[in-house]
Amino acid sequence: MAAEKIFYTSKLVIVWQLLFATLQISGIDSNLNLPTNHLKYYFNSFPKVADECRNDPGCPYKSHLDTKACWGYESNCKTENAFSTPRCPGDHKGWVSSKKAQIDTFYSQGDFGYVRDQRKELTMLCEPLFLDDSSLECSEHMRFCRGRNIMINFTNLVNKKEPIRYKMDVLEEGQIGGHCRLYEQRLNDNTDQMSPLQSWGPELKNFRELPHRPIQHGDCDVIIKEPTYIMKIDAVVNMYHHFCDFLNLYASLHVNQSHPSSFSTENHIMVWESYSYRSAFQDTFSAFTSNPLWDLKTFRGKVVCFKNVVFPLLPRMIFGLFYNTPLVYGCEGSGLFTAFSEFILHRLHVPLYNRNNSKIRVTLLSRDTQYRRILNEDELVEALKKNSRYEVQKVVYNKMIPFKQQLEITRNSDIFIGIHGAGLTHFLFLPEWAVGFELYNCEDVNCYKDLARLKGVKYLTWENRSKLMEHDPETHPHNGAHAKFINYEFDVDEFLKIVKKAEKHVKNHDAFKKFIERRAEWQVKADERRPRSEEL
């Protein structure tokens, strides 16, 4: 079995080199558009592109060449060269037997080790024999799949009267397939997690071997030449759940990384439902594609052939990212989550501003909802404003504030405060020195604590239950009070004590100290450049 796995792994490399044979770039990719600190990892992943840059006098990336940098999932990546290494200062509480096992477990659960394992699991389910043949390969349980020259028959969609979302019967037997050697038993063995958002089993169980090449034989009404990502997405109204989609799409770029164009936006994204996509967070898709989104209405009634298609990691996989991530105790700082945050902020052009002082920027997120409101939030804000060391703002992240502006506020916050709710997904976009203060977790202890751990920011929450007051509006939808369906009032002194603890963490953080030092240097240089007349 091990020899068979090695044989198929070598086949995968060959197949995907063929897959992108028509996509070779000439010159350095002008659409590279990656965060500066990611460039060395990119060039080390693609030595031929690095050589091209090295020999091109006009290449602007020469300072990012000739390193040993690696993301962490490559087979030859040494720990000291990896994008990051998890920090595990805490007790693992019996999860594992050693500190090394604790670090390795965290890395596999929620870091680039997860990508590494998906790449290792890739197995050919439908094998090509010639260049123009189709291919299909997937990781275990069909969490991630990719294919070449794949036919999908959408003709039956014209007969479906109800809108399609979270359906497992979109395709019927034979409505997806390719001209390749199908390993039926292997295909069937991986359809063991049949749920709309857990695997691609509901769709790919219908994959069949076709008697001829669909594109050359003229079976296709539409041929898509650009790489296409087909996504089954979670609740688009909820930032926490929708960002599971985006995080998994980003992780899938790494799982799929086999060509220099892997991070290009010259692709297509199809949402696997018939509802027209609208979301307060839709700007995030522009980080991944420069084209309008497609959905199941786009090709209804058509037979479509995809030259290159990717079925990305899904938002509710068993032991997936990040909704169902089981995290070992005592660890923090996922490089994957940090890279995702940096990637999104860079692609959406969200700035980190210089400071004209060293005050701690405190942001309190207010809720304009029926439940989990902070009833005395104005009192808390006024108490904060009395401290001359703080710059304080209260914000409501709703449709009145565009999402990019929300990210801008978050990225420039040192302490971000809010009660339990999807808005705390903004923890993902805090600077590394920041503190995420979940004012009260409403008895959902690990949700945003784990998200903060994955991002690598300090997490604090309310601990003294005797110093908060619950106000039950008695309108709970299920006839009984629940911590998520009531409102709260918080003791001011206790609140300030926790914020002071957060302040201490920020001020002692090396990255914050360096940031403030750079601010001082910028100010000196600005003063030196200022005309003498301005000083008179």
pLDDT at 531: 57
- Amino acid of residue 465: R
Q: Do the beta carbons of residue 410 and residue 389 sit within 8 Å? A: no
pLDDT at 476: 64
pLDDT at 362: 98
Q: How many other CB atoms are there within 10 angstroms of residue 517's CB atom? A: 11
Write a three-state SS string for 12-51. Answer: HHHHHHHHCHHHCCCCCCCCCCCCHHHHHHHHHHCHHHHH
pLDDT at 529: 56
Distance between CA atoms of residues 394 and 193, nearest Å:
44
Residues 6+ apart with CB under 8 A from 263: 32, 33, 34, 42, 253
pLDDT at 525: 55
Distance between CA atoms of residues 334 and 84, nearest Å:
8
**73-132 pLDDT, tens digit each:** 999 999 999 999 999 999 999 999 999 999 999 999 999 999 999 999 999 999 999 999
pLDDT at 370: 87
pLDDT at 5: 40
Distance between CA atoms of residues 413 and 411, nearest Å:
6
| Strands (DSSP E) found in 374-457 | 390-396, 415-418, 435-438
Q: What is the pTM of this model?
A: 0.92
- Token readout for 409 is 């506020």
Residues with pLDDT less than 50, the chain: 1-27, 532-536
pLDDT at 534: 42
pLDDT at 478: 60
pLDDT at 20: 40
User: If phi over 0 gives left and psi between -120 and 50 gives alpha, with beta otherwise, what is residue 216?
Assistant: alpha
pLDDT at 32: 85
Distance between CA atoms of residues 298 and 234, nearest Å:
20
Picking from 171, 146, 312, 148, the residue whose alpha carbon sits closest to that of residue 232 is 312
Supply the angle between the helices 239-255 and 335-347 in degrees, to the nearest 10: 100
Distances (CA, A) of 489 to 345, 502, 534: 34, 20, 50
Q: What angle do CA 173, 174, 179 make, to 5 degrees?
A: 150
